[in-house]
Amino acid sequence: MIFTGKGRARFLDAVVGFETAVRQGDGERSQQAMQEIQRHFEHARDDDLAQVGPRLAALLPTVPPGPRALVAVLVGACVERGADAGACAPHIFEGLAEVLGVAKEFCARWAATGGGDLPDPDPAALTEAALERVGQDAAVGWITLQQWEMASVAMLNRPAVRTTLPPETRLGLLSALHEIREASGDEFKCLHYALLVLDEEPLLALHRPTGTGYLLRMTGIGDNFQLHTLLADVLVGGGHVPGEAPSAQEAAVCRDAPGQVPTTGSFNLVTPGGEWVWNEGTPADIPVVEGARVVVLDPPPYRRGWPAGRFFPGMAGDLVLERVLGADEVQEWLGRCAPPK
């Protein structure tokens, strides 16, 4: 059901009411209006959410830290329904940077007050005793980090956001997240992987058994399971190297089709130094050599299968072949590569 008439008006009125209450610092009216927004959100029209998303994003600096995370999630949902991610993302990443700093403080205070296993970053896991150890502000940063992760991934699903995110911002977010992961043991894997996604990135693939090489370009690939399947689609499916090619459906779900389907690995991915490139990692694990990421494709040491698909279902990915390397060029490259370890 999509709202029209009175239902649509109630939703839009609730948004206006929330904006007004936030700007006036009226917490009770803000909460009431937010409850009304949530009540009607699922059935709101996409065109309404397209204009509501940037409006809610612009309010984020004014909303108190606890409810701010909920507003960020709603902004992410608006973007998933068509709102302009470019207009929303700066506010989301500003909030994310702030909450990462507060979450780092939470971890530091926890360590300074006896240490031990941190509570899950979830309100239900934070006991009164834990709250007393770290303080209200630090606790809010910790328990809302997963909501900021959801909102940020919704932004990073869009290539226009990823390609315009300043490198210093990306590195700052990754650095702060790394400290939190080291201190807490929580992976925050979706946020971590989303910040590592590469776009229009050159990839040099050297197929050692046939002595052939291929320059490709990858975009929006969330993990190496996805990359592995697409490499097999382009190189085996394209008739360049022998092997069992993925089906059309297996390749499609790794690009932009919904769902997952079983597939079987065609290669063992190895760095030029001989280290394995694990499917569980990301294309950012592949080292850069002379301006391109270089991966060696060896025969698989054993039969491996996994569900073909995308780590980020909302992120379209692609791998395209740009050129086939000449024989002399391939031999020069392979001569610099170590055997697999």
Which residues are registered as beta bridge partners of 308?
261
User: What is the residue extent of each domain of the chain?
Assistant: 45-196, 201-334
**Residue 164 φ then ψ, to 5°:** -105, 0
Residue 98, SS3?
helix
Q: Which residues contact 175 (CB under 8 A, 6 or more apart)?
A: none
**Residue 3 φ then ψ, to 5°:** -65, 140
- The model's pTM: 0.94
In angstroms, rounded to a whole number, what is the distance separating the alpha carbons of residues 226 and 336?
Answer: 27
CB 145 within 8 A of CB 188: yes
The per-residue pLDDT string of the chain (341 residues; one tens digit each, 9 = 90 and over) reads 455 567 788 899 999 999 999 999 999 999 999 999 999 998 899 999 999 999 999 999 999 998 999 999 999 999 999 999 999 999 999 999 999 999 999 999 999 998 888 888 888 888 888 888 999 999 999 999 999 999 999 999 999 999 999 999 999 999 999 999 999 999 999 999 999 999 999 999 999 999 999 999 999 999 999 999 999 999 999 999 999 999 999 999 999 999 999 999 999 999 999 999 999 999 999 999 999 999 999 999 999 999 999 999 999 999 999 999 999 999 999 999 999 88
